[in-house]
Structure 1
Amino acid sequence: MLYLGTVSSRRILNSRAHSYLRRAFSFTSSRAKVKTSARNDPNVPRDRWNYNVSPLIQSSQTKHEELELVDANTLESATEPPRGVKMLVRDFIEDSLYNPNYGYFPKQATIFNTDNSALDFGSLRDSVEFQEEVGQKYAAYGADKHDGPGRQLWHTPTELFKPWYGRAIAQCLVAEYLLKYFPYEDFIIYEIGAGNGTLALDILNYLRDEYPEVYERTRYNIIEISGSLVNLQKQRLSKAHPNVKVIHKSIFHWKTKEPAPCFFLAMEVIDNFAHDLVRYDLQTMQPYQGVVTIDPQGEFEVVYTPAADPLILEFLDLRLRLKHPMPVNRLFQSSNILRKFYLSLPFAPNLSTEEYIPTRMVSLLRTLRNHFPRHRLLLSDFSSLPETISGVNGPVVQTRFRNVTVPCSTLLVRQGYFDIFFPTNFERLRDMYEYMISHYRPPCDPDMRSTPLATNSTPMALGDSYFSSHLPRNRRNPLDGVTSASGLPVGERKSNVFTHSEFMQTYADLSKTTLQNGENPMLDFYKNVKFLF
């Protein structure tokens, strides 16, 4: 039975499957070999095999300084996973997930799709029968027929609850558009990672049927990194909705500015955004960045070097400004004496526990700030996950083997065969987003234009507080030349965090997804999902 309360059903992995996966699809770090073979070798330093292994000391035969430093962009033309190289953890994750020749999404992933046979919720007795119905649709994809990883099949609420989930998203967007921009501005939507194109199709169908005047002014843009999904989205959407434009590009390579008001959708996307790995020197509290090394034999290891990557440093600085806590005890951070005492204890580690930081999320926020200055963001994803690997904010690393979902305990797995996805702290994301949007003042931009409601004057030259003695806490600083319907420079409303249930209760037609016994899976499932809007 499929359990939809969290990301995936929890299964017990049989020993045969576990043995095969360990042999074929993951690599053991060379340090594990040293532990067994070097204990009695006088030529090998004890620190390579004792309990207090120093991650600052290289344990493999290949010195990491001699390896070529690469990133995910330089590996895009590679046809096979690289060897004899090193890269930041985020580049290792991006290469594993998105490399066009061997990445997980271009080559392995299949999005669950019910095609034209959407679920008839009113005919189902209860949630048990609902899960059985979904299980039957999963079974229709067939059993895995080979010994390697099977079809990497995963579901989204868009597909499970279509078209009602997409209609709820559409109602949220159109309500905001009608309130603020209609009929003076076009209804411009950008969506990243649109999958099968189902969400876009459901949104546009709803606008066409319920809001024809809005539909006539709608421009829907999809930014998609996967070439195969680009073709699928064009096939599904182009004929039915000529106002759709599909752009084959990574959002992290986006350079075009959208000066008009627009809505930006990121639904079930940011969980696969690459993270970096950071640890702190417990003596100096200085950050160290994780680097994945791949020796000529293809074995992985993580080494730590002083944090120098600009994106990592930007995130750490942003966290400091927002006063978000580090994953180290505050008393420990402030007391040099306590740290010295702790480090003098036997077997005390010299670095803090691993922490995965959302550096690619910072890249997205920067892109929104610079290239979509008048956007409104609607974002949804997992706020928590089961079966994560060790470390603060650690990801789930999993694959499918013989129709069984197999979780792994390490990030160092063969590129392209495993899904790697992270939970998101939505409250901290909201703080980061609002800070980056509100505390950036670009120079006068000739491409920036205001709504036709605006006057020719620019009262912002007189100061943000000209019309008020204080700025409301739930509003951003107003943009120069952009006024509200009252003619005053009122800032945009700040974003809020909603649970999945709260959002659906506000915008969805819940009668369409209610079961015969009164249960509503669109409210009761996906308890570990939140919205930012």
Structure 2
Amino acid sequence: MISLGTVSCRCIWNRPTHDLLRRAFSSTPLPAKTKVPTKNEPYVPRDKWNYNRSSLIQPSDTKIADFKHVDANSLEGATEPPRGVKMLVRDFIEDSLYNPNYGYFPKQATIFNADDSTLDFESLRDSAEFQEVVGQKYAAYGADKYDGPGKQLWHTPTELFKPWYGRAIAQCLVAEYLLKYFPYEDFIIYEIGAGNGTLAMDILNYLQEQYPEVYERTRYNIIEISGNLVKLQKQRLSKAHPGVQVVHKSIFRWKTREPAPCYFVAMEVIDNFAHDVVRYDLETLKPYQGVVTVDSQGEFDMVYTPVTDPLILEFLELRRQLKHTPPVSRLLQSSGALRKLYLSLPFAPNLSKEEYIPTRLLSLLRTLRNHFPRHRLLLSDFSTLPDRIPGVNSPVVQTRFRNTTVPCTTVLVRQGYFDIFFPTNFERLRDMYEFIISHPRPNSSGSDPSLQMRSTPLMTTSTSVAAGEGFFSSHIPSNRRNPLDGVNSASGLPVGERKSSVFTHSEFMETYADLSKTRLLNGENPLIDFYKNVKFLF
């Protein structure tokens, strides 16, 4: 029986020994044993980057300098994991998860799907029986082979609670649309990472049944990176809703500009966005970026170099402007003398703990600002996770072996066989999101002509009364963004989109879901009782 009370779509179990994993994944590098020094050989810790041997960070393997630097994009054509290369941590994670030929999602992952049937919640006695029913549906996928990786099966609330979960999302979106844009604008929705297409199906079915006049003006667009899922989504949605457009593309390569108001949906997606690793020199507080090296034998290592990557630099600068402090003790940050005293202690690390920073999430926010200027974002994912690997904001790394989900202790695992997913600090995400979309695109000046062409009676602009802005006082309330054309309201009325807010899973569902449809016989309601580690941004 699986437990859904803490983790929403990936369940954590017991840990088989390293020997079992070594037999199952013969080419999976495991943490090497500490080298035993000879009589005349000094002791050198295996964790060579964590000890205060030198303030400089120099790899012991001189060949590393000759390794070819690659990124996830350049590896897309590779048919097997590369060797003799080095790459940023985000490229290693992205290649591991999304490489078309050996990545985890294209080749290993299976999204739990209860076919077209829905659970009869009103006939279930309690949450224990609910979990038992879900466990039986999992068992229908069959047992794993004795050797090698098992079925990488995981579920989402969209699948478990269909169609009621999707209908709650639809109600949230259509309420905003009716309030602000109907009937002057079409109802345009973009969804990334649509999985089996279940959420799109449930949203469109709900609109078709409950809001037929809105359904006629709905344009649903799916942006999907997986070729297999693109085929599945088209197959499932084409007959029921032929107007759905499925685009086989990574959102990070999106180039089309959408000038009209739209809604951008990302459900259980950003947890698999690649992160980078940063550590701080505790003497100078200078940041270093993590670089994964893969030698000729396929063994992994992590080295640290001064930060040169533009995306990492942009994230660190953004964090500085938002006053989000790095994960270094405030006492150490404030006193150089205290840092020197600390570093003089035996075995004191010369670097801070590994911090996993959401650089790919930053890329998404930039894409939204640049290509979807009038969007409204609805996003949901994990806020906390158990059994994470060591580090700050670190991920869960796990695979399935002999019908058991196995957590690991390092991100340096064989590409394609392990799920790597992160928690999200939603409060910091909200700050980043609002800061980025409230600032114009770099190297842009003046108003955007495409935005001026999209003027409607309900457009959040005040250009038409700009002539009077010197006569009346005007202001932007703290819970509103600046108008897109940069002109405040001459009348002093609130203008601009309201700023986004963070909700717990239960708060969101209590607002938009029909809870009577998922209530059990004893009064429990798994739609709000579970998923305590999930939040919404809207």
* Alignment match, 1:452: 456
| Structure 2, gaps ≥5 residues long | none
> Which amino acid is the alignment partner of residue 189 of structure 2?
I
In 1, distance between residues paired with 2:111 and 2:250? 19
Which of residues 513, 529, 537 is equivalent to 1:532? 537
In 2, distance between residues paired with 1:463 and 1:321? 34
Q: Over residues 397-436 of structure 1, what are the superposed CA-to-partner deviations in whole Å (9 max), with x where a residue is unaligned? A: 0000011000000111000000000000000000000000
Q: Over residues 354-398 of structure 1, what are the superposed CA-to-partner deviations in whole Å (9 max), with x where a residue is unaligned? A: 000000000000000000000000000000000000000000000
Give the 5 Å matches for 1:218-233.
218-233=218-233
Q: Does 1:272 align with 2:272?
A: yes
Q: CA RMSD in A?
A: 2.4
What secondary structure does 2:240 align onto? coil
Q: What is the aligned-residue identity percentage? A: 74
In 2, distance between residues paired with 1:490 and 1:323? 27
| Structure 1, gaps ≥5 residues long | none
* Alignment match, 1:36: 35
* Alignment match, 2:477: 472
What secondary structure does 1:412 align onto? coil
- TM-score normalized by structure 2? 0.93
Deviation at residue 239 of structure 1 after TM alignment: 1.2
Pick closer, same or farther for the CA change 1:94–1:374 going to 2, 3 Å.
Answer: same
* Alignment match, 1:407: 407
> Which amino acid is the alignment partner of residue 58 of structure 1?
P
> Which amino acid is the alignment partner of residue 330 of structure 2?
R
What secondary structure does 2:83 align onto? coil
Q: Over residues 159-209 of structure 1, what are the superposed CA-to-partner deviations in whole Å (9 max), with x where a residue is unaligned? A: 000000000000000000000000000000000000000000000000001
Give the 5 Å matches for 1:343-492.
343-440=343-440, 442-443=444-445, 444-448=447-451, 449-453=453-457, 458=463, 468-480=473-485, 490-492=495-497
What secondary structure does 1:238 align onto? helix
Question: Residues 480 and 494 of structure 2 are in contact (CA less than 8 Å); yes or no, is this contact kept in structure 1?
Answer: no
Deviation at residue 459 of structure 1 after TM alignment: 5.2
What secondary structure does 1:239 align onto? helix
> Which amino acid is the alignment partner of residue 480 of structure 1?
D
Pick closer, same or farther for the CA change 1:300–1:398 going to 2, 3 Å.
Answer: same
Deviation at residue 48 of structure 1 after TM alignment: 6.0
In 1, distance between residues paired with 2:473 and 2:65? 58
Number of residues of Structure 1 aligned to a counterpart in Structure 2 = 527
> Which amino acid is the alignment partner of residue 388 of structure 1?
R
In 1, distance between residues paired with 2:12 and 2:458? 55
Question: Residues 356 and 393 of structure 1 are in contact (CA less than 8 Å); yes or no, is this contact kept in structure 2?
Answer: yes
- TM-score normalized by structure 1? 0.94
In 2, distance between residues paired with 1:90 and 1:466? 52
What secondary structure does 1:263 align onto? strand
Deviation at residue 280 of structure 1 after TM alignment: 0.2
* Alignment match, 1:497: 502
In 1, distance between residues paired with 2:392 and 2:472? 45
> Which amino acid is the alignment partner of residue 506 of structure 1?
T
In 2, distance between residues paired with 1:224 and 1:433? 22
* Alignment match, 1:515: 520
What secondary structure does 1:447 align onto? helix
What secondary structure does 1:58 align onto? coil
Deviation at residue 234 of structure 1 after TM alignment: 0.2
Pick closer, same or farther for the CA change 1:62–1:24 going to 2, 3 Å.
Answer: farther
In 2, distance between residues paired with 1:49 and 1:425? 29
Q: Does 1:191 align with 2:215?
A: no
In 1, distance between residues paired with 2:27 and 2:361? 28
What secondary structure does 2:223 align onto? strand
Pick closer, same or farther for the CA change 1:281–1:49 going to 2, 3 Å.
Answer: closer
Question: Residues 453 and 483 of structure 1 are in contact (CA less than 8 Å); yes or no, is this contact kept in structure 2?
Answer: no
Question: Residues 459 and 481 of structure 1 are in contact (CA less than 8 Å); yes or no, is this contact kept in structure 2?
Answer: no
> Which amino acid is the alignment partner of residue 351 of structure 1?
L
In 2, distance between residues paired with 1:174 and 1:515? 28
Deviation at residue 243 of structure 1 after TM alignment: 1.4
Pick closer, same or farther for the CA change 1:162–1:268 going to 2, 3 Å.
Answer: same
Q: Does 1:26 align with 2:28?
A: yes
* Alignment match, 1:12: 14
> Which amino acid is the alignment partner of residue 190 of structure 1?
Y
Deviation at residue 6 of structure 1 after TM alignment: 2.3
* Alignment match, 1:165: 165
Question: Residues 460 and 480 of structure 1 are in contact (CA less than 8 Å); yes or no, is this contact kept in structure 2?
Answer: no
> Which amino acid is the alignment partner of residue 342 of structure 1?
Y
What secondary structure does 1:284 align onto? coil
* Range with greater deviation from structure 2 (72-81 or 234-243): 234-243
Give the 5 Å matches for 1:234-313.
234-313=234-313
In 2, distance between residues paired with 1:114 and 1:158? 11
Pick closer, same or farther for the CA change 1:487–1:349 going to 2, 3 Å.
Answer: closer
In 1, distance between residues paired with 2:295 and 2:40? 22
Deviation at residue 471 of structure 1 after TM alignment: 1.6
> Which amino acid is the alignment partner of residue 325 of structure 1?
T
Q: Over residues 41-99 of structure 1, what are the superposed CA-to-partner deviations in whole Å (9 max), with x where a residue is unaligned? A: 64x7846678827692324x453211000000000000000000000000000000000
